[in-house]
Amino acid sequence: MTGLKIKFARAFDGVSGISHGFFGRAGGVSEGIYKGLNTGRGSQDNPDHVTENRRRVAETLGTHEPHLLSAHQCHSTNVVIVDGPWQDGRPKVDGIVTKTPGIAVSALAADCAPVLFVDPVNRVIGAAHAGWRGALAGITDKTIEAMESIGANRKSMRAAIGPCIGPENFEVGPEFVDAFIADNPATKDLFRPGKNDRSLFDMKSYLVRRISAQGVQKVGALPDCTYANPDAYFSYRQNSHKGITDYGRNISAIMLNNDNV
């Protein structure tokens, strides 16, 4: 679909038999504060616009819109294993895993971190939505475990962290710092002083370290910051700082290819 701007993970270089992409705002039909490729059904955007945007993403990946699966994300560590389109609505989970070709699993985000996983040897994929709460609680750990439960091996997995709020703009309070350091004192170096009692946090490096510590051999992160590039990506914090109460969602998705979808 022309007009869609897609970033690809260098961590997945050389992997065949998959389609994946980290999508920004470009190429969609939504208008106003959702201008562009808003794929979030939880937003207050025109539902027909969201469906058309999702159709374009699905087509780009090589599948159909009902096979592009996005969950009702709730900053949890819940993960679901799927083998087809949703039957009873979107489940409240933050990780989706499959080994079924033609099913695209996705994570939606607008400053939180989307994480895509693939085990190219055992043909298992996953997508996780890692806000700071889910990241700290272990959503990526649980996604890896779910992939293993259907045949993946973490030693042959690869992971890619997509566009999210970057370390120059992720300002957090002292209680946030305390929670991360209490969980793992080694995270102290991921915080830099901000204004007054605020600190700046490097979420991407945190996730790279956490996923690597789980035995995943190849982990990468795209450099894009959603907050610093509001024309290219939807950003919850950008809108909040402007007094805008709702926001669009960027989509990141991965699929095992199947010529018969």
| pLDDT average, residue stretch 239-250 | 96
Q: Is the pTM of this model over 0.75?
A: yes
Helix (H/G/I), strand (E/B), else coil: 219: strand
Query: CA distances (Å), 233 to each of 140, 186, 228, in order?
Result: 23, 31, 9
- Mean pLDDT in the chain? 96
* Residue ranges per structural domain of the chain: 6-166+202-256
CATH of domain 6-166+202-256: 3.60.140.10
Helix axis angle, 139-149 to 203-213, nearest 10°: 40
The C-alpha atoms of residue 249 and residue 7 are separated, in whole angstroms, by: 16
- The residue assigned the tokens 């990946």 is 61
Closest-CA residue to 144 (of 136, 153, 135): 153
Q: According to the model, what pLDDT value does residue 260 have?
A: 46
- Model confidence pLDDT, tens digit, residues 71-110: 999 999 999 999 999 998 999 999 999 999 999 999 999 9
Q: According to the model, what pLDDT value does residue 258 have?
A: 80
Query: CA distances (Å), 73 to each of 57, 203, 219, in order?
Result: 19, 18, 23
Q: According to the model, what pLDDT value does residue 2 have?
A: 57
Is residue 158 scored above 60 in pLDDT? yes
Query: CA distances (Å), 189 to each of 131, 196, 237, in order?
Result: 19, 18, 24
Binning pLDDT at 50, 70 and 90, where does residue 261 land?
Answer: very low
User: Cα-flanking dihedrals φ and ψ of residue 243, to 5°?
Assistant: 80, 20
User: Cα-flanking dihedrals φ and ψ of residue 51, to 5°?
Assistant: -60, -45
- The residue assigned the tokens 């806000």 is 131
- Model confidence pLDDT, tens digit, residues 82-93: 999 999 899 999
- Contact criterion met (CB below 8 Å) for 190 and 205: yes
Q: According to the model, what pLDDT value does residue 3 have?
A: 83
Is residue 203 scored above 80 in pLDDT? yes
